[in-house]
Amino acid sequence: MNLTLHVWRQNSASDKGRMVRYEARDVNPDMSFLEMLDVVNEELILKGDNPIAFDHDCREGVCGSCGFMINGVAHGPSHGTAVCQLHMRHYKDGDVLFLEPWRARAFPVVKDLYVDRKALDRIIAAGGYISVSTGSAPDGNAILVPKDKSDRAMDAAACIGCGACVAACPNASAALFTGAKISHLGLLPQGQPERRQRALSMVAQAAAEGFGHCTNIGECEAVCPKEIKLEVIARMNRDFLKASWTSRQKPLAGSDG
Amino acid sequence: MSIQMSATVVGGHPNRASRFYAAPIGKKAVMAVTGVVLFGFVLGHLAGNLQVFEGQHQLDSYAAFLKATPVLLWGTRLVLLVSVILHIVASIQLTQMKRAARPVAYAKKNNSHSSFASRTMMWSGPFIAFFIAFHLMHFTLGTGQPNFNGAAVFGNIVQAFQSPLVAFFYIFAMLLLGTHLHHGLYSMFQTLGANHPSFMPVIKRVAALGAILITAGFIAIPVAVLAGVIHT
């Protein structure tokens, strides 16, 4: 099958960038989307052009490195998968595809489809952790975790931090990501000591990074490769509201510099 | 863990209230709570208006009762004014935040999973604000209407809606109010943290049904006047 690609090309964060048209010829339907781009890139290299830059690592849908917009949908049309797990059999001969990077002020373009997502790391650093005492290993099952909470914490922990929620959100909000991390830790007994401060700090960090607000519309949930639910955002809101008015401690990390 | 990384982000606020409002969720909570107040008013206003179907005497005596209790009337107006201002200010600030959050727009963007109502809140909202200003001049102040009589509410309504232009403008405004309420009624629960698989589907259905019933209730009045069901 032959495809027409319109790909965002941008040399650096300071470059203005533009859409460039490419023809992908004899695409094998068994290829993954990234393998199709690999083949296009080999042709570009042979012609002496710059290959299209895109972020990727495991190509198994678990690392969260890859991701870009395909015809305006984060990770493309296949539900519950990252773009590395999208296969070319979903397309047909003659299809025209627009490939664009995640677009958000907090995700500056490094090159082409490759964006800098360190803003998400800084949200984690602001409060997405628990404190543990080092020393000898604790007894197994010393802390009881109800099955339903363990399941829900695992569901939230499935977030791979790919940034598709931000990309799909009309407000470029990181609420689904932040909510997933807050829910993951806040559902477990080990996450309780910092629970209130975590909500305050991570929410403040997300705003400081330049992410927008949540308008509860659900575009993020629809594209999440790990199918994280909007419920995690409500949980984050709940923790934030409680912490704002009842917490007796100062927020984590940096209220005094 | 680098402390420097996130330093000064949560600091710098003199008290809880300012730190709360500085966060996007704080602004959203203000919108949700003022939304509850404004929704309560819409319900009360609808209940009052529907007395038009009971006849001239019932509606005009209800209006006289409101005017005879200035504490109730002005208390309500004050609460509504404060709520409207907070609702609008927070929405403008959040919209500015949203614009700044995506400086380069997508060449192609597919928003197929969100509702029409949810994506048009910043269109329906300002139009409703404009409509409220018009509506106050039209039925409360009687601006530009020589036959307006503040005590004869029934007569004012019938006279106004006999003009199809005015009636259709009101019907259009109520349809936009309906879409605004459709998303707002659900969204206030999510914003305030009330989302649970056992009741969220119910909230969504009740929000949609409530928006339809309220819109239908308001629209019934100009339609009834146009159809001649309500007349002087």
Burial B52-78 (b: 16+ CB within 10 A, else e): beeebeebbebbeeeeeeeeeeeebee
Query: How many Å separate Cα A138 from the centre of its chain?
Result: 33
Q: What is the pLDDT of residue A239?
A: 97
CATH code at A118-246: 1.10.1060.10
Q: Is residue B12 one of the residues assigned to a domain?
A: no
Using the predicted structure, report yes or no on whether residue B10 has a pLDDT greater than 80.
Answer: no
Give the torsion through C-alpha atoms of B53, B57, B58, B62, to 10 deg.
130
| C-beta separation of A69 from A101 below 8 A | yes
- Sign of the Cα torsion B88, B93, B96, B97 reads negative
Q: Does A125 touch chain B (CB under 8 A)?
A: yes
- Residues B101, A254: C-beta atoms closer than 8 Å: no
Domain positions in chain A? 3-110, 118-246
Q: Is residue B8 one of the residues assigned to a domain?
A: no
Question: What residue in A sits closest to B116 (Cα-Cα)?
Answer: A217
B189 CB neighbour count, 10 Å cutoff: 21
- Residues A241, B29: C-beta atoms closer than 8 Å: yes
3-state SS, one letter per residue, for A92-112: CCCCEEEEECCCECCECEEEC
- How far is Cα A210 from Cα A173, in angstroms, rounded to an integer? 9
Q: Does A215 touch chain B (CB under 8 A)?
A: yes
pLDDT tens profile A201-257: 999 999 999 999 999 999 999 999 999 999 999 999 999 999 999 887 766 554 433
DSSP A32: B
Question: What residue in B sits closest to A254 (Cα-Cα)?
Answer: B7
Mean pLDDT, residues A40-58 taken together: 97
Question: What residue in A sits closest to B105 (Cα-Cα)?
Answer: A103
ipTM of the complex: 0.90
Number of domains, chain B: 1
Q: In terms of DSSP bridges, do strands A96-100 and A3-9 run parallel, antiparallel, or are they unpaired?
A: parallel
Instruction: Give the nearest partner residue to A103 out of B3, B23, B104, using CB atoms.
Output: B104
Q: Which chain A residues contact residue B2 at CB under 8 A?
A: 125
Partners of residue A96 on adjacent β-strands: A4
Q: How far is B151 from chain A (nearest CA, A)?
A: 42
Q: Is residue B41 one of the residues assigned to a domain?
A: yes
Helices (H), B70-137: 70-101, 116-119, 121-135
**Domain span at B134:** 17-103+114-226
User: Is A134 strand, coil or helix?
Assistant: coil
CA angle B174, A217, A103 (to 5 degrees): 125
B220 CB neighbour count, 10 Å cutoff: 18
Partners of residue A70 on adjacent β-strands: A73, A99
Q: Is residue B10 one of the residues assigned to a domain?
A: no
Q: Is residue B6 one of the residues assigned to a domain?
A: no
Mean pLDDT, residues B16-35 taken together: 95
Q: What is the pLDDT of residue A185?
A: 97
CATH code at A3-110: 3.10.20.30
pLDDT tens profile A88-98: 999 999 999 99
Q: What is the pLDDT of residue A69?
A: 98
Question: What residue in B sits closest to A72 (Cα-Cα)?
Answer: B109
Using the predicted structure, report yes or no on whether residue A120 has a pLDDT greater than 90.
Answer: yes
- How far is Cα A115 from Cα A68, in angstroms, rounded to an integer? 9
DSSP A87: B
- How far is Cα A167 from Cα A74, in angstroms, rounded to an integer? 7
- How far is Cα B181 from Cα A113, in angstroms, rounded to an integer? 39
Mean pLDDT, residues A67-81 taken together: 96
CA angle A154, A75, B107 (to 5 degrees): 140
Lowest mean pLDDT: which of B48-57, B140-149, B173-182? B140-149
Partners of residue B144 on adjacent β-strands: none
Q: What is the pLDDT of residue B3?
A: 40
Q: Which helix (H) or strand (E) holds B47?
A: helix B24-49
Q: In terms of DSSP bridges, do strands A18-24 and A3-9 run parallel, antiparallel, or are they unpaired?
A: antiparallel
Q: What is the pLDDT of residue B1?
A: 40
- Residues B8, A105: C-beta atoms closer than 8 Å: no
- Residues A172, B98: C-beta atoms closer than 8 Å: yes
Using the predicted structure, report yes or no on whether residue A186 has a pLDDT greater than 90.
Answer: yes
% of chain A with per-residue pLDDT over 70: 97
Q: How many CA atoms lie within 13 A of A114 on its CB side?
A: 15
pLDDT tens profile A220-229: 999 999 999 9
Q: Is residue B219 one of the residues assigned to a domain?
A: yes
CB pairs under 8 A between A and B: 187
Instruction: Give the nearest partner residue to B190 out of A172, A201, A216, using CB atoms.
Output: A216
- How far is Cα B210 from Cα A71, in angstroms, rounded to an integer? 36
Q: How far is A217 from chain B (nearest CA, A)?
A: 5
Question: What residue in B sits closest to A6 (Cα-Cα)?
Answer: B107
Using alpha carbons, select from B27, B46, B169 the residue that is nearest to residue B87. Answer: B27
Give backbone dihedrals phi and psi of B126, rounded to 5 degrees, phi first: -60, -35
Q: Which chain A residues contact residue B25 at CB under 8 A?
A: 203, 213-214, 236-237, 240-241
Mean pLDDT, residues A36-54 taken together: 97
Q: Is residue B122 one of the residues assigned to a domain?
A: yes
Q: Is residue B4 one of the residues assigned to a domain?
A: no
